[in-house]
Amino acid sequence: MKFVDEVSIRVKAGDGGNGCMSFRREKFIENGGPNGGDGGDGGSVYMVADENLNTLVDYRYTRHHEAQRGANGGSTDCTGKKGEDLFLRVPVGTTVIDATTQEVIGDLIKPGQKLMVAQGGWHGLGNTRFKSSTNRAPRQTTPGKPGDQRDLKMEMKVLADVGLLGLPNAGKSTFIRSVSAAKPKVADYPFTTLVPNLGVVSVDRWKSFVIADIPGLIEGASEGAGLGIRFLKHLARTRVLLHLVDMAPLDESSPADAAEVIVNELTRFSPSLAERERWLVLNKADMVMDDERDERVKEVVERLQWEGPVYVISAISKQGTEKLSHDLMRYLEDRADRLANDPAFAAELAELDQRIEDEARAQLQALDDARTLRRTGVKSVHDIGDDDDWDDFEDDEDGPEIIYVRD
């Protein structure tokens, strides 16, 4: 199945049914009076988190969704039928955003969680509602109110406890295969991983955590090089990051340089995400001699001025992976206990999570805006250099109006 983590759709709630104007017309009943019923309410549109879904591909090809309209009122005081609500099922971890205002409507992070995104229209009133002692035969009715219509943007972020960072071929997919039952594709060429992969790591019989692998980053990813940084948003909700570094790269490049590239790209994407708990994991230790291994570890640590945990492993031979998994499980348990018992720590993490969400969304919106400008052929002011002749950018009075957008 195709992996789709961003879609734009339009939803329309059902309109309310119109009120009915009717009078009793029965034999032997004089002056029967009004008996027009109210219309029915329009159906609303809801998003529902479904743990059985892992992609938004269903909404890539069906962009318009409309709830049922309320039925009109009938005679003999019959109220119209209410329109049926429309339930759109989305993966757990989906953020719903109003595309017009960029307002976050809600996050669906729990299975079964429900979010109303468009309110159905209110029903119209029949003429029975307007009868009074001075108005015995009212001919007034009201139409149903229109339902809400909204353009929505949905972003899906995978929910995982641990996220993997690294260059292509750093061994991230091999590490997931080594510690979990997940079987992502592994090959000896860059960008083997094209979409995020999830694996469940079982430490003990009743203890496990979820680990996420995203496509590798390269230098310049923040400007769109390689697969770009769009997949970094899937690490926004992780609790700890593992920075995997290849100790024996095939091109004989420096592991310290590779580690620095990832840190720089991560910081450009979201400085707050760079503040997330991060562990340094040097992979492919079995391919380096012992004395050279220690030297490379020292070089990476000094280059990054690293003060956090450091692990030296070989994912393919499972050397050091068991200890790393147990330490991760212990860290996650201690973190959960502290969150439950330390309100200050919980507030601090909540504030960090919000900053990460805001920065990630702003970065992705900037990428979308730049892509739209390129598609429409309009230059951003940042793309206009000193060598550009501003006379060329003057609007032609006889031609279409051109608006230059600041991104």
pLDDT digits (tens, 9 = 90+) for 181-218: 878 777 766 677 777 888 888 888 788 889 988 887 77
Structure confidence at residue 2 (pLDDT):
58
What tokens were used for 168?
């292509």
pLDDT confidence bin for 402, thresholds 50/70/90: very low
Q: In degrees, to the nearest 5, what angle opens at C-alpha 110 toward C-alphas 109 and 112?
A: 125
Q: Does the annotation list 283 as a binding residue?
A: yes
Q: Does the annotation list 272 as a binding residue?
A: no
Structure confidence at residue 223 (pLDDT):
66
Q: Does the annotation list 192 as a binding residue?
A: yes
The more confident residue out of 388 and 167 is: 167
pLDDT digits (tens, 9 = 90+) for 66-84: 999 999 999 888 999 999 9
What letter would DSSP give residue 137?
A: S
The answer to whether domain 162-371 has CATH 3.60.20.10 is no
The more confident residue out of 87 and 228 is: 87
DSSP, collapsed to helix, strand or coil, labels residue 299 as helix
Average pLDDT over residues 215-222: 74
Choose which CATH entry (3.40.50.720, 3.40.190.10, 2.70.210.12, 1.20.1560.10) describes domain 6-156: 2.70.210.12
Q: Does the annotation list 341 as a binding residue?
A: no
For the chain, what is the radius of gyration of the CA atoms?
29
Structure confidence at residue 269 (pLDDT):
84
Q: Which residues contact 317 (CB under 8 A, 6 or more apart)?
A: 286
pLDDT at 1 over 70: no
Give the type of residue at 292: E
pLDDT confidence bin for 224, thresholds 50/70/90: low
Q: Does the annotation list 134 as a binding residue?
A: no
Q: Does the annotation list 175 as a binding residue?
A: no
Least confident interval from 39-48, 109-118, 192-201, 302-311: 192-201
Q: Does the annotation list 323 as a binding residue?
A: no
Task: Decide the pairing of beta strands 94-98 and 149-156.
Answer: antiparallel
DSSP, collapsed to helix, strand or coil, labels residue 125 as coil
Q: How many CB atoms lie within 10 A of CB 316?
A: 17
* Cα-based distances in Å from 108 to 4, 50, 113, 377: 17, 9, 6, 36
Q: Does the annotation list 188 as a binding residue?
A: no
Q: Does the annotation list 378 as a binding residue?
A: no
pLDDT at 407 over 70: no
Structure confidence at residue 327 (pLDDT):
92
User: Which residue ranges does the chain devote to CATH 3.40.50.300?
Assistant: 162-371
User: Which residue ranges does the chain devote to CATH 2.70.210.12?
Assistant: 6-156
pLDDT confidence bin for 404, thresholds 50/70/90: very low
Q: Which residues contact 114 (CB under 8 A, 6 or more apart)?
A: 46, 47, 48, 49, 87
Structure confidence at residue 401 (pLDDT):
43
pLDDT digits (tens, 9 = 90+) for 31-47: 778 999 999 999 999 99
Least confident interval from 38-42, 244-248, 283-287, 398-402: 398-402
Q: Does the annotation list 327 as a binding residue?
A: no
pLDDT at 323 over 50: yes
